[in-house]
Chain A
Amino acid sequence: MSEEINIASQLKFASQHLFNLIFFIGVLYYFLKDTIVKFFSNRSLKISREIQDANTIIETSQASYNITSQKVNLIDSELTELRNSIDSVTSRKTGEIIENANSVAKKIKIDTEDIIKLESLKLQYQVENNILSKALEVAQDEISKEITEERDSDLISSFLSEVKQNAISNS
């Protein structure tokens, strides 16, 4: 029985407080309704603006990114072109240098061959001249040993006859 009384008192207490609460909420709703609506409306607008700003920034950034990407692509293509051009120039120059080097080497080879030929001929003539000079020296020695008065007189007579013939034919 006491338990029943207790529950009834508890329900009474709860209903009293629930009523107070509902009343309190009703008072709050009545007085704070516009303020809260205004606050949330402002808040909503602010967030909308911020979202719009963010979208604008995103769009600007996207545009900048696109431009930069284009520039990077352009730079990449220019770099590729430049690399290709450098490769081509390097290849051409290398070819020219090799060609020049080959031409110079060929010329040097021909010149050297000519010099060797000339030097060989020169040496050959020198050797021939030396041999001839020695032979003529020996001949002169032999002649000076072999010459006698009689042979000298014969030589003179023969030469004077030639001179006479020459003088007669000239006159």
Chain B
Amino acid sequence: MPSATVNDFFIALTADSSSKDNLERIYTGLSKFVEVFNGDKSIRLCLVNNIYPSSVKNDLIAQIVSDCKATRTFLEVIIEFNLLTSFIESREFFLKKLRKLLGKVKIEVVTIDVNHEEKLELIKSSLENIWGTNLELSFKEDPGILGGLVLQVEDKYFDGSLLGKVNELKKINVKGDFNV
């Protein structure tokens, strides 16, 4: 009998949760779990290590994902089936799949200053104008880009920074010709 994969459980999870609110809760729960898993080494070690009993792992999951039973069950099952590592390795794929189901677009914006509210609003409204209002926006500060902004829209990369323009100049040689 072929063993179940993470994708099988994921399909079961999303098929059961037909309403958008449920999917939203699942997405939030999984995102939170991934964030905590990435950020906390002790939790990571506890969850992937087989010497800890399932009850301890389930308690941890219940603490991390407290407000979504379906997500909790999903995580408990994949831990039970020793599929957590597979899920973690493909986490971006599953989160992207959920975002697609929700019609949500994840955008990471890099600017030189994240404290200028007016500018952030301008960026947000422009991005909503392009990709709609259902956005998962995150802002990151990097003074190294000198000016402008860098966008990571799902798996697409847009570089509108001054550093990017300066780097383009590196393709030009001293005579002013482009290096092929």
Instruction: Tell me whether B160 and A152 are in contact (CB under 8 A).
Output: no
* A155-B130 in contact given A131-B174, A132-B174, A136-B169 (Cβ < 8 Å): no
In which size bucket is the chain A interface? 20 to 34
Instruction: Say if the beta carbon of A5 comes within 8 Å of chain B.
Output: no
Instruction: Tell me whether A160 and B126 are in contact (CB under 8 A).
Output: yes
CB 8 Å contact bits of A134-171 with B (1 = contact, 0 = none): 00100110011001010111011111101110010000
**Dominant secondary structure of chain A at its interface with chain B:** helix
Q: Which residues of B contact A76 (CB under 8 A)?
A: none
In which size bucket is the chain B interface? 20 to 34
In Å, the complex CA distance between A118 and B151 comes to 41
Q: Which residues of A contact B172 (CB under 8 A)?
A: 132
Instruction: Say if the beta carbon of B149 comes within 8 Å of chain A.
Output: yes
Residue of A nearest to B123 (CB): A156
Q: Nearest 10 pairs between A and B by C-beta?
A: A159-B160, A160-B126, A155-B148, A147-B147, A128-B174, A152-B147, A164-B130, A143-B146, A167-B130, A143-B162
- B-contacting residues of A (Cβ < 8 Å)? 128, 131-132, 136, 139-140, 143-144, 147, 149, 151-153, 155-160, 162-164, 167
- A-contacting residues of B (Cβ < 8 Å)? 111-113, 116, 119, 122-123, 126-127, 129-131, 143, 146-149, 151, 158, 160, 162-163, 166, 169-170, 172-174
24 pairs from A and B in contact (CB 8 Å cutoff): A131-B174, A132-B172, A132-B173, A136-B166, A136-B170, A139-B169, A140-B163, A140-B166, A143-B147, A147-B162, A149-B113, A152-B111, A152-B112, A152-B113, A153-B122, A155-B160, A156-B119, A156-B126, A159-B149, A160-B126, A160-B130, A163-B151, A164-B130, A167-B130
